[in-house]
Structure 1
Amino acid sequence: MLAPSRFALVATIMIVAVTPVAAVANGNHQAGSFDRPYDGYAQKSTLLRDSTPAKAGLDPAPIDTALTQVEGWTKPTGTVKPLYAGAVTLLGHDGKVVTRKATGLAVKYADGNGTELPADQQIPMRTDTIFDMASVSKLFTSIVVMQQVEKGKVGLDTPIATYVPEFAENGKAAITVRQALTHTTGLPAFLPLWSSQPTPELRMQAALTAKLKNPPGGTYLYSDLNLIALGELAHRVSGKPLDKLVADGITKPLQMRDTGYNPDEKKKPRIAATEYQASPPRGMVWGSVHDENAWSLNGVAGHAGVFSTADDLAVLAQTFLNGGSYRGARILKTDSVTAMITNFNQAFPGNDHGLGFELNQRWYMGGLSGPRTAGHTGYTGTSVVIDFDSRSFAILLSNRVHPSRSWGSNNPARRAVVQGLALSLGVGPRHGKDAWFSGTTDASTTTLAAKVAVPAAGAKVSFDLFVDTEDSDLLYLESSVDGTTWTKVPFTVQDRGTVIDTDGTISGSGDRHWHQATSDLGAGDQTLRWRYTSDPLYQGRGVYVDSVKISSGRQVLFDGERTPESFVASGWRLSRR
């Protein structure tokens, strides 16, 4: 359950941040593949079109499994409440929408206790249901700020107080726009603006003049106040309110017709209800922003307030995959997109963050996690994950706070959806028709073993290795002479000219390609095994082992490609993708 890195080894390799490159396809990439990542961005002319997983080169089975899980979580299990009343899942790959599925109900409950409405008053979820995006709104504010940067009205390393003078109060004069975008200002996560001040004007003043919790630049702390300040900054420098900036700069050019703040009352039958609120006494919140602070700021704020649909978010995701352009409309320069998905928080491991996007977060990005994976979540149960390496995206929108935020988290569903997409992307065998795959089950141990008689001269084992795991999920290479006592076998990994010595264990992720591994074996009859162990939460794409060969001089003692039946597998399986 740790933050993923390039490889968790005796030696550590640094991942180079994504850099601006031409928007051309990588000739080594294959549609539907995980282990042959793209470089750069898709062609700006790439438009989404409906397809199926199979037609897009994906394995439908993991996606079907994920969709079954998403549907199952709409129902209670014994005394355990459902994760949400309903959800919409939309998956895209290589310019194709491969999955669009609605399940459950958009409106189900009458009160905060979970009293169900009469059946004729409940509203089924639709694929075009409009959801309160909650903190996914922060992406829209970030885009608007980057647009002001492009216009020369805002400097990323200029103090916010240059544009919003009152922000300087309480020791904040030097805090920059970049620090707010990366949540390193030192501001507290939240203030109850709605209850502490009587008017929207005084609430904004309180947000802008808030006291620091930590010294600026010294800590990562996700804060709504950062984006509230940036939303006001964009208003000040442009002369336009934030909702107008979002409409003019994002939703209108991208034709995102169901996206914006304070949705029209006429759309209410298509809007998912959120929480029953007693304090403030709003009753069942439906068609109005759920976040109390955004509500108290008249529904428009930098941190929350946007409503949208899965299809509109898909257009936004593809716009980023295209490097900032969609359907002939460019909302950002390619360099700005690159900045938004470049990790500027290297000083805070595990809290990777671009200029607006969260990056490489295993807890909801699952097997798609990597340095070039960007996304955001929202408190109401929303999430979007964009994987630039495979040109894929996963969108899950749920009303998980309906009828009460206390009913739990929809994080299991977020992970399931993304993991389903990740597993649908193939990892092709390095040699031959298949490779051994560890599986990706939480809290499990799987083993792949082979017996070998090593002569007195010793032997060398070589194998191809693909690793994409959480750092705390380890692959061990081990040897035993009695099948009971096991000893780690140190091995060396060669990675495109780099040689890494391990202590017999390996984990980590980020590069999505095969490596070559070798190790020396001592004399004697023994069993060699690859053991993969996972902890209770979070998974990557898993481990693959291929082309196992054990040789002593010119004598081949074991050839896994020729005799796969010689392996004893527990939990591992042969996979062709």
Structure 2
Amino acid sequence: MAQVHPTIGGHSDSRFEPVAQAFRDNFRLRNELGGAVAIYYRNELVVDLWGGIADKQSGAPWRADTLTLMMSVAKGISTICVAMLVDRGQLSLDAPVSLYWPEFAAEGKGAITVREALGHLAGIPVTDLAVPGDFYHWDRMVAAIANQKPLWPVGEKQVYHSSTLGFIAGELVHRVTGRSIGTFLRDEICAPRGLDYFIGMNAEQQARCSTIVASANNVVNAAKREPKNSISYRMWQAVPVEEDYNSVRWRSEELPSVNGHGTARAVAGIYNAMIGPNPLVTAATLRQFLTEQQAQSTDSEGARLRMAVGFMLNSPPHRPMGPNMRSFGHSGAGGSQAFADPVAQLSLCWTTNKMHDGNDIGARAKAMIDAAYMSISL
């Protein structure tokens, strides 16, 4: 049943009243449970709203500091961590992955570059050597990736490395810095800015989490019902079928392909830090990461995706990020959306604890994005 009169907290500048109205309408018209939206515009936090129910069973309200799972939004944040290392000269996009991670050279992968691996061109979207439960074990997952034989010649196809890309990024960070990607994210990005976004959480952070209501046909759940020889199933075979995205293991371990948890305010802040004053990486480095890698790329449903190095680029109508094609970020299974628009100088994150089916961003996220750009055009 739709929550007609949810409790909504936070603030929205008067110019962004269309966003506040769209957020209210998500509850009134689109059967929202709980969620949050945050927008930076010209380096100012102009929208920071949250509302609804954080836990359906108890009825606990969504609060200012409620953390929620954003699934593959974590890939964009993980890419930012890698970009910082490239910017510092500690990594090169055109160097072989095996230069930093020698075991990755197995099964003929010795020449695959960091750019190809993060650009979904390596032909390793699956982990055939992993078994259910291995997803929670870093060493087992990176070993399965390192020993995976490419499914086709490198660069022949661009297929979304949905389950493996975050682990590839994370292992590169680990090999170069000696720190896990969750630790690097905390130390280098979030803690200095007071931003609540985590890959791997402690008990206190987990206590602030909303409870995810997983839809039957979100990308991961749907893949688990595919034939066992299909690419979709093989992508996610390391995740136990009973995982509901609320388990202690899911929240505790560092799973940078899919398990970043945070506030909308934090993720919008991270993307603002990519395009605002004193950005996390230089413009020259960012350009390397925003180059589309293969123009004919599609996802498993045949929808056009514009994939760069680690980031998704604006891909309307399936995964829109406003009117500017230079927008970049990453969406997450179930609907969460986060991106930066360097043209409009706007960054946005919308998230929810009620997942939606399908590979698109869904009506609730689209309403937030449309309202954001309506606000700055008035």
TM-score by length of 1: 0.53
Residue 354 of structure 1: which of 296, 308, 311 is its match?
A: 308
Whether the 8 Å contact between 1:343 and 1:354 is mirrored in structure 2 is yes
Separation in structure 2 between the aligned mates of residue 174 and residue 408 of structure 1, nearest angstrom: 32
Quote the offset at 1:207 in angstroms. Answer: 2.0
2:48 is matched with which residue: 100, 103, 106?
Answer: 100
Amino acid aligned to 1:205:
A
* 2:285 equivalent in structure 1: 336
Correspondence 1:71-470 to 2 at 5 A? 71-72=27-28, 75=31, 85-108=33-56, 117=57, 121-188=58-125, 193=130, 195=132, 197=134, 200-223=138-161, 224-256=163-195, 258-275=196-213, 280=240, 285-286=245-246, 288=248, 290=250, 299-322=253-276, 325=279, 331-346=280-295, 348=297, 350-363=304-317, 366=320, 368-401=322-355, 411-426=362-377
Separation in structure 1 between the aligned mates of residue 323 and residue 271 of structure 2, nearest angstrom: 16
Q: Determine helix, strand or coil for the equivalent of 1:90.
A: strand
How far apart are residue 322 of structure 1 and its match?
Answer: 1.3
User: Alpha-carbon deviation of 1:289?
Assistant: 6.3
1:454-478 deviation line (CA, Å, top 9, x unaligned):
xxxxxxxxxxxxxxxxxxxxxxxxx
* In structure 2, distance between residues paired with 1:420 and 1:51: 12
Measure, in 1, the Cα distance between the counterparts of 2:327 and 2:156: 25
Indicate the residue corresponding to 1:450 in structure 2. none
Shift of 1:142: 1.3
**Distance apart, 1:324 and its partner CA:** 5.2
CA distance in 2, matches of 1:194, 1:273: 26
Q: Secondary structure at the match of 2:307?
A: coil
1:171: how far off? 2.5
The Cα offsets for residues 77-105 of structure 1, whole Å up to 9 and x where unpaired, read as xxxxxxx5311122332233333222321
Distance 1:388 1:106 in 2: 32
Gaps of 5+ in 1: 1-49, 76-83, 109-116, 326-330, 427-576
In 2, Cα distance between equivalents of 1:219 and 1:383: 25
Distance 1:90 1:254, change over 3 A: same
User: Once the two structures are superposed, what CA deviation does each residue of 1:210-234 show, in whole Å capped at 9, x if it has no partner?
Assistant: 1222321122111032331221122
Letter in 2 for 1:423: M
Give the helix-richer structure, 1 or 2: 2
TM-score, structure 2 as length reference? 0.78
1:353 is displaced (CA, Å) by 2.8
**Structure with greater Cα Rg:** 1
Which residue, 25, 30, 52 being the options, matches 2:13? 52
Residue type of the alignment partner of 1:299: E
Partner of 2:85: helix, strand, or coil? helix
Q: Cα distance, 1:400 vs. partner?
A: 2.4
Q: Helix, strand or coil for the counterpart of 2:350?
A: strand
Normalized per residue, the structure richer in strand is 1
Note if contact 2:268-2:349 (Cα within 8 Å) is conserved in structure 1.
yes
Map Cα deviations across residues 475-517 of structure 1 (whole Å, 9 max, x no partner).
xxxxxxxxxxxxxxxxxxxxxxxxxxxxxxxxxxxxxxxxxxx
The aligned amino acid for 1:309 is T
Structure 1 pair 308–415 and aligned structure 2 pair: CA distance change class (3 A): same
Q: Offset at 1:206?
A: 0.9
Partner Cα separation in structure 2 for residue 68 and residue 382 of structure 1 = 17
Cα distance in 1 for residues equivalent to 2:321 and 2:334: 23
The whole-number CA distance in structure 1 between the counterparts of 2:145 and 2:19 is 42
Counterpart for residue 573 of structure 1: none
**2: CA distance, partners of 1:135 / 1:180:** 17
SS at structure 2 position matched to 1:217: coil
- Aligned with 2:95: secondary structure? coil
SS, match of residue 246 in structure 2: coil
On the 8 A contact 1:107/1:273 being kept in 2, the answer is: yes
Take 2:281 and 2:320, find their aligned partners in 1: how far apart are those partners? 28
Aligned residue type for 1:253 = P
Q: Equivalent residue for 1:538?
A: none
Q: Given the superposition, is the C-alpha separation of residues 281 and 396 from structure 1 closer, same or farther in structure 2, using an over 3 Å criterion? A: same
The structure 1 segments of at least 4 consecutive aligned residues displaced by more than 6 Å after TM superposition are 276-279, 405-409
Q: 1:33-65 CA deviation, whole Å, 9 max, x = no partner?
A: xxxxxxxxxxxxxxxxx76142xxx6x3x4344
The percentage of counterpart residues that share the same residue type is: 22
Contact 1:365 1:385 in 2 (8 A): no
- d(CA) in 2 for partners of 1:220 and 1:202? 25
* Equivalent residues of 2:40, 2:269 under 8 A apart: no
How many pairs does the alignment contain?
340
CA distance in 2, matches of 1:362, 1:235: 34
SS at match of 1:187: coil
Q: Report if the CA contact (8 A) 1:180-1:227 is conserved.
A: no
Deviation at 1:197, TM superposition (A): 4.9
In the alignment, the residues of structure 2 paired with residue 191 and residue 52 of structure 1 have an alpha-carbon distance, to the nearest angstrom, of: 50
Q: 1 CA distance for matches of 2:13 and 2:241?
A: 45
RMSD: 3.2
Give secondary structure in 2 for the equivalent of 1:394: strand
- Structure with larger RCO (C-alpha < 8 A, sep 6+): 2
Q: Distance in 2 between matches of 1:425 and 1:192?
A: 49
